[in-house]
Chains A and B, each alone.
Chain A
Amino acid sequence: MTGRGGTAPKLAPYAFVAPAVVLFVLVFALPIAYTVYLSLFRTEVKGLGLGRGSRSEVFVGLDNYVRALTDAELGAGAVRVVAYGAILVPTMLGLALVFALLLDEDRVRARGFSRIAIFLPYAIPVVIASLLWGFLYLPGTSPLNQLLDALSLPGVNLLSPAGIYFAVANIAVWGGVGYNMVVLYTALRSIPRDLYEAARIDGCTPWQVAVRIKIPLLAPALVLTSLFSIIATLQVFVEPTTLAPLTNSLSLTWTPLMKVYQDAFGRGDIYSAAATSVLIAAAMFALSFVLLRVTRSRAFGGER
C-alpha cells in the first residue's frame, strides 16, 4: 500500500499501536529492567551506620544472585513448594476432572446448581478463605475436634509440622477445583456429541466413553490447566502467609515468594529481593517452556 500524499497514512499504524507499546514499556518492560538493575546493587554501611549519609548504594555485579542461589532457606523453600505442589496439583486436577466428567453425564440432575456450588469457592478471596480455614484448623476452635472429642476420639492437629502441607494444599484445592472444573467442562461440551453416539453403538459403556474418548480429547485442556496450576503452585504466598501467625509450623520464609517479601519488606533489602524475583521468574519461564515443549506434540496433535 502506498501513501497518497501527506504523512498521515504512514503515521496511522504507529498511532494505533502506540497505546499498547507505551503501556507495555511503562508497566512491563521498564519495571522489569529496573528490577534487574536493582538486583545488581546493595547498600554499603560505613561504621556504626548511624547518622547522615552512612549508607550508600554500591554496584556488586551478580553477588545478589550468587547469594540467592546458595541460600539454604531459599532452597528449602523451593523443596517445600515442590512437596506442596505434589499434593495440590494431582488432587485438584483429579477432582476437577471427575466433577467435569460427572457433570457432562446426560443422567446427572441439578447440573446448574452443582456447577455453581463447586465453582463458588473460587469466588472467595484467598485471604478470607485462608482465615476461615485457619479457624477450622486450630485445634481449640476446630469443629472437627469438637466432634471427635464428643466421640471420645483423640483430636487432630492439621497445623502440625507434617499436617501443614495438607492444610495449605487443602485451601488451594478447595478454591481451585471449581475453576479448573469449569475449564475442563467447557472443553468437554465442545466435543462433538456424535462421537459418543458412535461409541455407544459400538458397545462402549459410559466408563469406556470417559476413559477412551473424553479424556484423550481433553488433553489440551488438561495440559493448560496443569500449566496454570503448576505456576500458581510456585507462586503460593497468601495461604501460608495468612496461616503463619496461627502456628509454629509455618516460617515466614516458607516459600520462595515469602522469602522475597521478607527480604524486601522485612529486612528492607530490595536488592536481594529483586535478584530472587528475577531468579523465580526465570525458573517459571524455563519450566513453562519445557512443559509446553514436552506436552505439545501429544496434547495438541497436528496443531503447530
Chain B
Amino acid sequence: MRLDIAKKAAALGLGLALLAGCGGGTEQTTDGPVELSFWAWAPDIDKVVDKWNASHPDVKVVVSKQAQGDELVTKLLTAAKGGNPPDLAQVEFQSLPTLVSNDVVADISEGAAVAKDKFAPGVWDQVTLGGSGVYAVPQDSGPMMFYYRADLFAEYGLKVPTTWDEYAQTARDLRAKAPDKFLGTFSSNDPGWFAGLVQQAGGSWWSVDGDTWKVTVDDAATKKVAQYWSGLIREGAIDKSPMYTPEWNKALNDGTQVGWLSAVWAPGVLKGNAESTLGKWAMAPMPQWDAAEPRTGSWGGSTTAVTAGSKHQKAATEFAVWLNTDPAAVEGLVTQSAIYPAATSAQEALTNPPAFFPNQPDFYTKAAEIAATSSGFTWGPNVNVTYTAYRNAIGEAISGGGDLVPALAKMQGATVDDMKANGFKVGG
C-alpha cells in the first residue's frame, strides 16, 4: 500500500521504457499492398474508409478508434516518442501546432498543396500555421451559431438577438418573464467555446514574428468578451454552471436553458442530450459586435494529418486528400459521420436539414453563409496549457464573484511561462 504511488510512477516509467524499446519497426517493402493505420474518432468513419479500400486495393486503410480530441493528442505524442505512431490521425485544429512542434505530424505540402482551393482561406491557414508547410488536410469545421428554443421565444415574446447588446437585453427580459430560465450559460469547462467567442470578437492569442512567438491571450478583444460576460454573470442574467453535465442536459431537456451559443454540430448534441425537444429549436447567426460586419468564430473542427513516423507518407497523404475532398468521400463523412465538411463545395451541396431541425429546411444554406464569415486564428504550440489555465482560472473566477478579467492574466501568464520554460522565444 505504501508503495502504491511509486508503483504508479513505475508503471508510467515502464510503459515509456517499453515504448522506447519497441520502436523502429522494419522498413516495409512496397511490393505488396500497403496497410495504413488511421486513428480517428468520427462516428462510423470506417464505413467511409471502406469506400477507399474498395477502390484502392494497393493501399488498405485500417481505422482504429483509440481516443478522441485531446486524449488522442496525448496518445499520439506517446506513440511518436515510442517510435510506432499510426500513419494517419484525426487531429483538431488547435492541436496541430503542438503536434508539429513535437515533430509528430509530417509536412505534406508536396502531396496536399493541390487541395488548397477546396477550402476557405481562413480554414486552410490553420493547417499551414501561416508558413509554407502543410501539416494536415481540413476535415470538418465548427462555425459558431446561436441556437434557441423557437417555441419558448414565441411564448415569452422574445426577439432573436442580432447584437451582443440585444443578447444581454434578451437574457434580462427572459429572467424577468421566467425567473427559472436562462438564455445561456457561461461554462468554465469549455475553453474551445470561449476561444470561439474570442475569435468572433477579433481576438488573437498567438502570432509569429520571425522566429519569435507573440502571446496575447489577454488582448483587448479577449478582455472585451470577458468583461461582457462578467457583467451578465454578476447580474445573474445568465447561468454559470458548466456545460456537458447531467444538470445541463436536464436543463436543455426541460427548457431551463432556452438558448445555446454553439456550433454547426449542435443538432447532433441536442438530439443526444435533449431528445424530447425535437423540432423546437431554431438556428440563427451569432449575435454580433458590429452588425455591419457579421463574423463568427469556430468551436471544434478537425483535420486528417499524416505522421512524421509513417513509412508511407505519400500514400497516406493521398488518402487524406481523398477523404476530405473527393465528393463521394465527403458525402459519406456528412451522411455517415454527421460532420460538417470543411470543403466549401461540400458545404454548398448540403440540402436536407439535420433530422433534429425539420422546422428549418434552409439550415445548411444559412450555415454555409455563416461559415463564410469565420475569423481566422493562429493557434500556438501549447494550447493545452492555455486551456487548462482557462478551466482552472475561470472556474475560480466564477465561484469567486464573476469577474473574469483577472483570469485572463492568469491564462496569459501560464501560457508564456510554459513556452519560456520549454525554450521558445517569446516576445511582445
User: Residues of A at under 8 Å CB distance from B?
Assistant: 26-28, 30-32, 34-35, 38, 42-55, 67, 134-135, 138-141, 160-161, 227-228, 231-232, 234-235, 244-253, 257, 262, 264-270, 274, 277-278, 280-281, 284-285, 288
Contact = CB atoms under 8 A, between A and B. Distances in A.
A30 to B, nearest CB: 7
B384 A245 contact: no
Nearest to B211: A47
A268 B77 contact: yes
Given A48-B213, A50-B381, A51-B133, A31 B399 contact: no
Contact of A50 (B6, B17, B129): B129
A66 B102 CA distance: 25
B396 A248 contact: yes
25 contacts: A26-B14, A28-B6, A31-B10, A31-B12, A34-B17, A35-B12, A35-B13, A43-B422, A49-B422, A50-B101, A51-B103, A140-B250, A161-B400, A231-B1, A232-B1, A235-B5, A247-B395, A248-B396, A249-B395, A250-B395, A252-B391, A262-B388, A264-B12, A266-B388, A267-B385
Range, interface on chain B: 35 or more
Given A48-B211, A248-B396, A268 B5 contact: no
A284 B129 contact: no
A148 B288 CA distance: 41
B100 A43 contact: no
Contact of A45 (B14, B101, B308, B384): B101
B6 A55 contact: no
Contact of B6 (A32, A34, A246, A262): A32
A186 B209 CA distance: 69
A27 B102 CA distance: 28
Nearest to A228: B1
Nearest to A284: B5
Given A32-B13, A43-B422, A265-B74, A51 B100 contact: yes
Contacts of B424: 45, 48-49
Nearest to A289: B2
B11 A141 contact: no
A112 B119 CA distance: 69
Given A264-B12, A267-B384, A268-B74, A251 B103 contact: no
Contact of A278 (B9, B133, B247): B9
Contacts of B422: 42-45, 49, 269
Contacts of B335: none
A252 B388 contact: yes
Contacts of B101: 45, 49-50, 54-55
Given A31-B11, A235-B5, A284-B2, 16 more contacts: A28-B7, A31-B13, A31-B17, A32-B13, A38-B16, A50-B100, A52-B103, A54-B101, A160-B399, A246-B242, A246-B247, A248-B394, A248-B396, A266-B384, A267-B385, A267-B388
Interface in B375-422: 381-382, 384-385, 388, 391-392, 394-396, 398-400, 418, 421-422
